[in-house]
Structure 1
Amino acid sequence: MKRVSYCLRLWRAYLRVGFLTMTQYPADTVILLISMLVREASGFVGILAIVGVTGGMGNWNVYEVCILFSMCAVIEAIGQAFFDNVWGMDHMMRRGELDVFLTRPAPVFLQVLGQVTHFQAVLSLIIYVGIFVWAALQLNLHIGLYEALILVEYVIFGTMVNSGIYAIFNFLNFWIVQGEDIAVLVQTCREFVKYPLNVFPAAIQGFFTFLLPLGFVAYYPAMALLGKTTLPVELMLPAVGVFVVFLAFLVWRAGLRGYNSTGT
């Protein structure tokens, strides 16, 4: 329990430092927030334009697509805010920063995550929660006990799947020079799951369900919320989330055990 308490206090301290760093230069903070809003808005407007021209996507109308897109964006915002520094594994190894973490008593991975927090992403999260609520009202979406369970699981296990997959591919930097390029390719593939997967060929649906299970970030939870599937999503989400995080843990442990420092 003392170890857990220590880690929680350390994580709170990292969050405080991250917030103070973000607000150190107010003008830069405002510019960054505006740029994030423009970036997120452009992606959302693009989706609406496509749906508006086609009149929908498969059996998904415009509000249902908004539900899916906003759910996907919320998980991405959580990852950007609190788990984004897995993308720094490449330069941390090259610059010897990971060597410093190894000399400290705190868990190495906690130190990795704590180095960078993007509180600006919380603004994107709030905006997309608002879009979700707006679209749900337009659909008269009923939120009962089952739907509430799906939403809770979606936030927890969707984040585990999304950030866990990014972590796995960034951990390849332990063995591969410029391994981040593979993770960037995976991030690019993630654009597929902002759209209903059932509009794509069966091979793509299977790929994002069984091989790279990003469909569980938002697509399957959205299907369950909208009553578009009979699959036991409430059971599938925890299983996939735990599996991805466990796999990420194994890759991390194997990489850390074989890490030989930069040699400089």
Structure 2
Amino acid sequence: MFYVKMFFQYVAQYMKTRLQYRADLAVEIVSDLLFQAVNLIFILVVFGHTNFLSGWNRDEIIFIYGFFLVPYALFSSFFNIWDFNERYIVKGELDRILTRPIHSLFQIILERMELESLFGAITGLAIMFYAGARLHLTISWYDPILFIVFVLGGVLVYAGIFIMIACISFWADARTSIMPMMYNIGNYGRYPVDIYNKVIRFVLTWILPFAFVGVYPSAYFLGRGEWYLYAFLTPVMGVVFFGLSVFIWNEGVKRYRGAGN
């Protein structure tokens, strides 16, 4: 309950801060929506030259992209640790974090949240409903429950991967370009893994399992029976990767010796 209370207190303070500059908030929201629109236009352009992509039609690809946006929006809202190395290790702000009686990772997540990114989830849902209507998909009573489970699993997969990358800073505090590169690799998860060769498919499934954020869980709702096993592995992969990342984080904090002078 202490952590829940702290979460809502941080959210309240964040909203007070952001609403003081409403124009900036509106610009950021519009910018995010335009970015998502550009990605959607790219998909439409690709399918302007072909009807199928490795057995997937245009509306199925759009549905996968829409699903991908939902866990990605949640991840972007609460796990903005892309600058962890420079801000918390190099500049020494982790020293401040470690003096407080709350888990360091949880505190950094709260400090770096960007709740306006949640609008991406609304966009994703709208795209899914649009594509689902064109595909004549039916919804069972348990599908919303599975949807929530799959989305949370995808969020944990994304969070686990990027937390583990951030943990590299505990052992090597030099600035690296790994984080931006990983963000680019993560975008591969919004396309069917069939279009990649076996090596990339293996990496996106078991090493950097971004496929569990988009295509695998989406395959369940699209009725792709051959991917059902992978779809139901989504929450398992999320718990495993996130649990491993928290373990590595705790070990890294033990090695941290401060910023020095």
Instruction: After TM superposition, list the pairs within 5 Å mapping 1:1-264 onto structure 2.
Output: 5-84=1-80, 86-90=81-85, 91-145=87-141, 147-178=143-174, 180-230=176-226, 231-233=228-230, 235-264=232-261
2:188/2:211 contact within 8 Å kept: no
Q: TM-score by structure 2 length?
A: 0.93
Local SS of the residue matching 1:53: coil
Higher mean alpha-carbon deviation, 143-152 vs 13-22, is at 143-152
2:219/2:231 contact within 8 Å kept: no
**Which aligned runs of 4 or more in structure 1 are off by greater than 4 angstroms?**
none
Call closer, same or farther: CA 1:167–1:180 in 2, change over 3 Å. Answer: farther
Local SS of the residue matching 1:142: coil
CA positional deviation for 1:152: 2.1
1:162-195 per-position Cα deviation (integer Å, ceiling 9, x unaligned) = 1111111112111123455212211111122221
Q: Distance in 1 between matches of 2:174 and 2:61?
A: 36
1:138-162 per-position Cα deviation (integer Å, ceiling 9, x unaligned) = 1111222564443122111111001
Q: Distance in 1 between matches of 2:6 and 2:217?
A: 33
CA positional deviation for 1:103: 0.9
Q: Distance in 2 between matches of 1:104 and 1:43?
A: 41
Local SS of the residue matching 2:233: helix
Call closer, same or farther: CA 1:119–1:145 in 2, change over 3 Å. Answer: same
CA positional deviation for 1:232: 2.2
**Any unmatched runs of 5+ in structure 2?**
none
Q: Distance in 2 between matches of 1:25 and 1:166?
A: 30
Call closer, same or farther: CA 1:143–1:107 in 2, change over 3 Å. Answer: same
Q: Distance in 2 between matches of 1:178 and 1:229?
A: 46
Q: Distance in 2 between matches of 1:164 and 1:24?
A: 33
1:170/1:180 contact within 8 Å kept: no
Q: Quick one: which amino acid aligns to residue 84 of structure 2? A: M
Higher mean alpha-carbon deviation, 95-104 vs 149-158, is at 149-158
1:70/1:128 contact within 8 Å kept: yes
Q: Distance in 2 between matches of 1:191 and 1:106?
A: 33
Q: Distance in 2 between matches of 1:74 and 1:179?
A: 30
**Any unmatched runs of 5+ in structure 1?**
none
Q: Quick one: which amino acid aligns to residue 103 of structure 1? A: T
Higher mean alpha-carbon deviation, 171-180 vs 220-229, is at 171-180
Q: Distance in 2 between matches of 1:181 and 1:175?
A: 16
CA positional deviation for 1:19: 1.6
2:216/2:231 contact within 8 Å kept: no
Q: Distance in 1 between matches of 2:213 and 2:255?
A: 31
Q: TM-score by structure 1 length?
A: 0.92
Q: Quick one: which amino acid aligns to residue 83 of structure 2? A: G
Number of residue equivalences? 259
Cα RMSD after superposing both structures: 1.6
2:79/2:159 contact within 8 Å kept: yes
CA positional deviation for 1:234: 5.3
Call closer, same or farther: CA 1:20–1:53 in 2, change over 3 Å. Answer: farther
2:71/2:152 contact within 8 Å kept: no
